[in-house]
Structure 1
C-alpha cells in the first residue's frame, strides 16, 4: 500500500502522515527511544510543533506502522485464504450441507458457486444470512435503525445480490452500486450502494457504505493508520478514511471537481452527492439516510462532514439521519465540536451504535493526548441488548488488561446464547453453524466476534430504543 505522501498537501493546515514502507526494523525501535519524530523518514509532518512527542504517542506510531507492515506482508495470502474460505462456505450452502455436497459430487450434480451470482454470499453475509426485515414495518419507530443495519450488512455483497435483495425482499428501487477509486492507493477500495424506499408520501434514499472486509489487508491498514490532516475550520481528520471517501491529491476537497475520464472509477463522495442532488431536486418530499458498518460507518459520518464543509444546504436539510454501527474514530476534539454544531444547526440525527466489547469502535486509540475522539451520543448495547445512552462506550481503549477476563466470560455467554436465542426470540434469530464457529474466536480474541453484523441487527430489533427514534 503506497502512501503517496509526496503530493501537495497545502489544502491542510497541518498533517502527520505515516509511511510504513520507509520504516525499517531499527527505525521503529529508535522511535521508542528518541523524541525527534520530525526527523524520521517514515513520518511526514507539517511542522515539529504539530507532533506529539510523548512516549505514549510514539508507542502508538510504533504499533500502527508495525501492524501495517505485517498486514501488507500477508496481504496476498490473506486475500487468497479469504477467497477460498468464501468459496468453500458457498459450496457447502448451495449444495444443501456437507452430506448433500458429497452426494451431489458422487452423482455428478455438484453445484459450483459463481462469485457474481445473486446467491453468492461474502464471509460477512454468511455469518448472518438474514435479508428480510420481517419483525419491523415501515411505520415502526425502529424502522430506520433496522433498515440502516440491514443495508450496512448487505453492502458487503456483490451487485447482483444487492439488486435482488433491494427489489425482491425490501420492495425498493435499486439506484446503483458503485466501486469507487482511492487516488492515493491507485485502486478501487470503496464500495457503496444506493436504494430508494418509496412508501406513500415518504420517499427515502438509503446510502450504505461497505465496511472492512475481513481478509482485505488494505482496509485493515486504513483502520489502524493514525495519520491525519487538519482541514481549515473543521479539525484533524483521519487521513485513510478521507482518502477512501474521495480526497483528491494536491487539492483536497474542492466543492466541484474537474471533468474526469469516464473510464476512471468515480470518487465516492462526489458520485453519491450528485445522485442525491438530482433525486432530491426531482422530488421535494424525498429525504435520505447515510449508513455503514465498521469502516463504512466512518465513511458515512465523513460524508456528512464534507456536506457541511461545502455548505450543501439542500442535502443537509433533507438528511434524515446518519446511522453507524461499530464505527471507528474519525477526528479530534475540534472536529467533534464542529460536527456537533453543524448537525444541531441542520437538525440531523447522528446515531453511533456500539455493541458490547466490539474492538473497532475503540480504534484508533483515544486519550487526553491523542487526536482521535468520538462525538455525539453513543447508543451502547450490552450482551442482553439493553440500551445505555453514553458519551463514550465502556473500556473505550479496549486494550485494558483489567477487562480481558470479563470480555472472555462475556464471549462464552454469547457462545451459549447462539443455541438458545431461537427459543427466546423466535425463528428469525436462529444462528447457523458458521456464526457459532466465529463466536468461538471471542474466547481467544474477545471483541472480534462482537464486531460482526449479527448482534447489531439484533440490537436494533430487540433493544429498547423507542424514546430515541419514535416520531411524535
Structure 2
C-alpha cells in the first residue's frame, strides 16, 4: 500500500461509523483489513470533544514515554482497551489525520512500551505530542511516517515541542504563510496522488 492509500483510510475514519468508540467523542477509530494487514485509523477534529482534547495541552509524565500532551493521551486511553482487544495478536498499522495522527502516535508508543510495536505509523498533519524526545526514541525502530502538506500550521504546534519522527513535506502551499487551508485531508490525498493524476 502507498502513503496515499493510508491517507484514504484516514479520510474514511471521518465518515464511516466508528468500529470503536463514540462517534461524538475524540476517542474513536475504524478497523480495516487491508493488503498491508490490519489497520486502525483515527479521525481528526470534527466535534467539540475533539477540540477539548486538542487544547488540553498540559504535559503529563508517563513512565517510558516521557511528557505527553494530556488531551491526546486521554483520548487514546479512553479506547485503548477496546483497540487492544480488536487487534488481538495481529500486527497492526496505526493511521490518523490531525488529532487522529496524534492519537496514532500515542497508541504506537503505548504498544511499543508493551512489547508489541506496530508495523508502522502513518500520521498526516500531526500536531506535536511531546515537549521532549522520549517518544521519538521509543519509536526509533518503528517505521513512523509523518506528513506535512504545504504550509499547514498544525504540525508546528504546540510550539517548542517535538515530533515523534522527522516530517516529510508534501504538496504545494495554497498560501505563502503558515495556514489551516493546507491541513485538510483532501489536500493531503491530492498531494500524495501519483504524478499526472488528480
Q: Shorter-chain-normalised TM-score: which range? A: 0.7 to 0.9
Judge conservation of contact 1:192–1:207 (CA < 8 Å) in 2. Answer: yes
Runs of 4+ in 1 over 4 A off after TM superposition: none
Partner secondary structure for residue 406 of structure 1:
coil
2: CA distance, partners of 1:180 / 1:237 = 23
1:459 is the counterpart of 2:191: yes
**Larger radius of gyration between Structure 1 and Structure 2:** 1
Give the counterpart of 2:14 among 152, 156, 164: 156
Partner secondary structure for residue 462 of structure 1:
coil
2: CA distance, partners of 1:156 / 1:208 = 9
Q: TM-score normalized by structure 2?
A: 0.87
Partner secondary structure for residue 146 of structure 1:
helix
- The superposition leaves residues 41-67 of structure 1 with CA deviations (integer Å, 9 ceiling, x where unpaired) of xxxxxxxxxxxxxxxxxxxxxxxxxxx
Tell me the equivalent position of 1:406. Answer: 176
1:377 is the counterpart of 2:155: no
2: CA distance, partners of 1:355 / 1:179 = 28
Tell me the equivalent position of 1:331. Answer: 130
Tell me the equivalent position of 1:343. Answer: 140
Give the counterpart of 1:193 among 30, 40, 47: 30
1:352 is the counterpart of 2:146: yes
Partner secondary structure for residue 324 of structure 1:
strand
| Unaligned residue ranges in structure 2 (runs of 5+) | none
Judge conservation of contact 2:129–2:163 (CA < 8 Å) in 1. Answer: yes
Q: TM-score normalized by structure 1?
A: 0.39
2: CA distance, partners of 1:337 / 1:450 = 25
2: CA distance, partners of 1:363 / 1:220 = 14
Count residues with an aligned counterpart.
195
Distance 1:157 1:229, change over 3 A: same
- The superposition leaves residues 100-120 of structure 1 with CA deviations (integer Å, 9 ceiling, x where unpaired) of xxxxxxxxxxxxxxxxxxxxx
Tell me the equivalent position of 1:177. Answer: 19
1: CA distance, partners of 2:132 / 2:149 = 23
Give the counterpart of 1:288 among 92, 100, 113: 92
1:177 is displaced (CA, Å) by: 1.2
> For 1:232-251, what aligned pairs fall within 5 Å after superposition?
232-246=63-77
Tell me the equivalent position of 1:263. Answer: none
- The superposition leaves residues 291-317 of structure 1 with CA deviations (integer Å, 9 ceiling, x where unpaired) of 0000000000110111122223xxx2x
Bigger mean CA deviation after superposition, 374-383 or 291-300: 374-383
Q: Which has the higher strand share?
A: 2
Give the counterpart of 1:271 among 73, 82, 85: 82
Give the counterpart of 1:220 among 31, 51, 68: 51
Distance 1:298 1:337, change over 3 A: closer
Distance 1:337 1:158, change over 3 A: closer
2: CA distance, partners of 1:309 / 1:296 = 20
1:382 is displaced (CA, Å) by: 4.1
Partner secondary structure for residue 327 of structure 1:
coil
- The superposition leaves residues 148-175 of structure 1 with CA deviations (integer Å, 9 ceiling, x where unpaired) of 100101111142xxxxxxxxxxxxxxxx
1:337 is displaced (CA, Å) by: 4.6
1: CA distance, partners of 2:43 / 2:164 = 22
| Unaligned residue ranges in structure 1 (runs of 5+) | 1-142, 160-175, 182-186, 247-266, 281-286, 367-371, 385-404, 408-445, 464-472
Judge conservation of contact 2:128–2:155 (CA < 8 Å) in 1. Answer: yes
1:451 is displaced (CA, Å) by: 0.7
Q: Bigger relative contact order, structure 1 or 2, given CA contacts below 8 A and separation 6+?
A: 2
